[in-house]
């Protein structure tokens, strides 16, 4: 059996079965999702993290590329109770270390009690505990990854839906999932995907009907260029955001953000709309949240479990953001109407979509 060691912040070392060799370090987090492992593994929001699956068997329906959210795996390593050969072969092909035969209940409990933590991984025939501890010593806090946007963003503008004749969206790519772009293109929008550090001139060249800030990894405070873009255009262009995008919009408009203890990662996070009282189930993947929305934004939706803001609307301007992933990849389709609401902001004649009664 291939040796595998998982060194946790504080010095505790776990031993498991090595399924894909290599060394890695990152912030240890967990997801409660029982399906959607392909989407999770290719979600750029997991950059610089080590992903623990709480569901005991990962890989039971194979690996299909059409489900991928990006062109590569983003977690630095993967932990599970049991991984199938299909998944481990995929991880190995991308040099992503993987460990199973772990008591993931214990790992998840450690994270829930102590919060997301630094972690070091060593997998291979000749590795030792010291190799994993060395990786742990070199691990940086998530907020110290000041260049993380560059790791997940496009290098130059890419256009999707060029033949569409609907609204023009300038999407600032801080690590966008492919299904977010697809959701806009399916609604006849032309989407210009711009780098995370796009300038005002870049946005002006697109002349968008909507400015959209994507999801992505890391501390929103490190996305200074995206924050500046929102500040520059919010009074003249409708603004939308998802996940990290919500946090960036809040930062730009006088709000504050903070790191959560262990974040929200899964496909069954309950969200309540404060006006209607309706509760929907959502897909989420984030470790930061909006602490205070500021004077220009109103909290319109909250997480039922901990009351953190899940939706923000502009008080004086056309702004709509969501902390969860309404594109439903993976997860329930309760909130797909968000994209209709976003595009409706481009036309003052339109009203935002109202979810149908269940």
> Is 149 annotated for ligand binding?
no
> What string of H, E and C letters represents the secondary structure of the chain?
CCEEEEEECCCCEEEEEEEECEEEEEEEEEECCCCCHHHHHCCHHHCCEEEEECCCEECCCCCCHHHCCCCCCCCCEEECCEECHHHHHHHHHCCCCEEECCCHHHHHHHHHHHCCEEEEEEEECCCCHHHHHHHHHCCCCHHHCCCHHHHHCCCCCEEECCCCCCCEEEEECCCCCHHHHHHHHCCCCEEEEECCCCCHHHHHHHCCCEEEECCCCCCHHHCHHHHHHHHHHCCCCCEEEECHHHHHHHHHCCCEEEEEEEEEEEEEEEEEECCCCCEEEEEEEEEEEEEECCCCEEEEEEECCCCCEEEEEECCCCEEEECCECCCCCCCCCCCCHHHHHHHCCCCCCCCCCCCCC
Active site residues: 243, 325, 327
- Would the annotation count 45 as a binding residue? yes
Is 120 annotated as ligand-binding? no
Strands of 256-273's sheet in order across = 158-160, 190-194, 168-172, 210-213, 239-242, 319-322, 309-314, 297-303, 256-273, 279-292
Known binding residue 287? Answer is: yes
Residue 218 annotated as binding?
yes
Residue 244, annotated as binding a ligand: yes
Residues forming the annotated binding site for L-glutamine?
45, 216, 218, 244, 247, 285, 287-288
């Amino acid at each position: 059996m291939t040796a595998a060691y998982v060194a946790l912040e504080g010095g505790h070392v776990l031993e498991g079965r090595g399924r894909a060799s290599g060394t890695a370090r990152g912030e240890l987090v967990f997801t409660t999702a029982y399906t959607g492992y392909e989407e999770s593994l290719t979600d750029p929001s997991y950059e610089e993290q080590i992903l623990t699956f709480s569901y005991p068997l990962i890989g039971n329906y194979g690996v299909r590329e059409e489900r991928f959210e990006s062109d590569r795996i983003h977690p630095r390593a993967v932990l599970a109770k049991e991984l199938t050969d299909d998944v481990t072969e995929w991880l190995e092909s991308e040099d992503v270390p993987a460990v199973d035969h772990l008591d993931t209940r214990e790992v998840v409990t450690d994270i829930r009690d102590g919060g997301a933590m630094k972690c070091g991984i060593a997998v291979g025939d000749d590795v030792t505990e010291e190799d994993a501890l060395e990786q742990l010593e070199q691990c940086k806090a998530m907020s110290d990854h000041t260049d993380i946007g560059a790791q997940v963003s496009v290098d130059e503008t890419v256009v999707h839906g060029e033949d569409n004749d609907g609204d023009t969206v300038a999407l600032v790519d801080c690590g966008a999932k492919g299904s977010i772009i697809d959701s806009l293109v399916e609604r006849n929008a032309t989407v210009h995907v711009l780098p995370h550090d796009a300038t005002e001139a870049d946005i002006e060249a697109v002349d968008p009907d909507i400015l959209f800030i994507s999801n992505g990894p890391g501390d929103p405070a490190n996305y200074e260029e995206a924050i500046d873009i929102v500040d520059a255009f919010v009074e003249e262009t409708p603004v939308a955001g998802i996940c990290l995008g919500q946090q960036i919009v809040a930062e730009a408009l006088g709000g504050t953000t903070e790191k959560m203890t262990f974040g929200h990662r899964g496909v069954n996070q309950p969200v309540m709309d404060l006006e209607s009282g309706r509760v929907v189930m959502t897909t989420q993947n984030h470790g930061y949240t909006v602490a205070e929305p500021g004077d220009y934004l109103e909290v319109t939706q909250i997480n039922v479990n901990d009351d953190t803001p899940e939706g923000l609307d502009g008080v004086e301007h056309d702004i709509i953001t969501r902390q969860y992933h309404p594109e439903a990849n993976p997860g329930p389709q309760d909130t797909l109407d968000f994209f209709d609401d976003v595009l409706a902001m481009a036309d003052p004649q339109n009203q935002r979509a109202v979810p149908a009664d269940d």
